[in-house]
């Protein structure tokens, strides 16, 4: 397998369900495109139920930092969310849409756009997590 060492270590640290997807991703791309970045690793990171529960507990006292209005997700909103995630690692996002399925879809889309993990959705709130590239403050169980 022609995967860089850092990615091989990252694959070993991933959950059993995510590792085969990451290997398939690298095998299906050309060697020129096989760059192992933190965004690539995060793309295949899957939170376990215990990790989600821990993040929900840490997010409980937090106030929403980002609001998604009826105007939906814009590039400015994505940029602001990325800045907030880089600063805080764990944020709450308030989604002001009435329909529950639309809220879940918007939360998943925002997580995908910001290279973060959707830890939970509770009513009109979504909890997003993305570890910092340098000196992460939150340690997952």
Find where tokens 């899957």 sit.
Answer: 46
Its pTM surpasses 0.85:
no
pLDDT, tens digit (0-9, with 9 covering 90-100), for 72-106: 899 999 999 999 999 999 999 999 999 999 999 99
Question: Is the sign of the CA dihedral 131, 19, 126, 120 positive or negative?
Answer: negative
pLDDT above 70 for 34: no
Candidates 3.40.50.620, 3.10.20.30, 3.10.105.10, 3.30.110.60; CATH matching 51-129: 3.30.110.60
For the chain, the farthest-separated pair of C-alpha atoms sits apart, in whole angstroms, at 48
CA 58 to chain centre: 16
Span(s) in the chain for CATH 3.30.110.60: 51-129
Cβ atoms of residues 48 and 18 within 8 Å? no
């Amino acid at each position: 397998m022609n995967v860089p060492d850092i990615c091989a270590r990252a694959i070993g640290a991933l959950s059993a369900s995510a590792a085969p997807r990451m290997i398939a991703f690298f095998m299906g791309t050309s060697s020129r495109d096989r760059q192992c970045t933190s965004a690539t690793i995060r793309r295949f990171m899957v939170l376990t139920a215990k990790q989600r529960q821990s993040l929900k507990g840490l997010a409980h006292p937090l106030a929403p930092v980002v609001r998604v209005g009826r105007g939906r997700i814009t590039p400015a909103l994505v940029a602001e969310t990325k800045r907030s995630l880089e600063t805080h690692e764990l944020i709450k996002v308030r989604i002001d849409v009435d329909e529950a399925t639309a809220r879940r879809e918007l939360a998943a889309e925002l997580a995908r756009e910001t290279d973060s993990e959707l830890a939970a959705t509770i009513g009109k709130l979504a909890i997003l997590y993305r570890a910092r590239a340098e000196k992460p403050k939150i340690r997952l169980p």
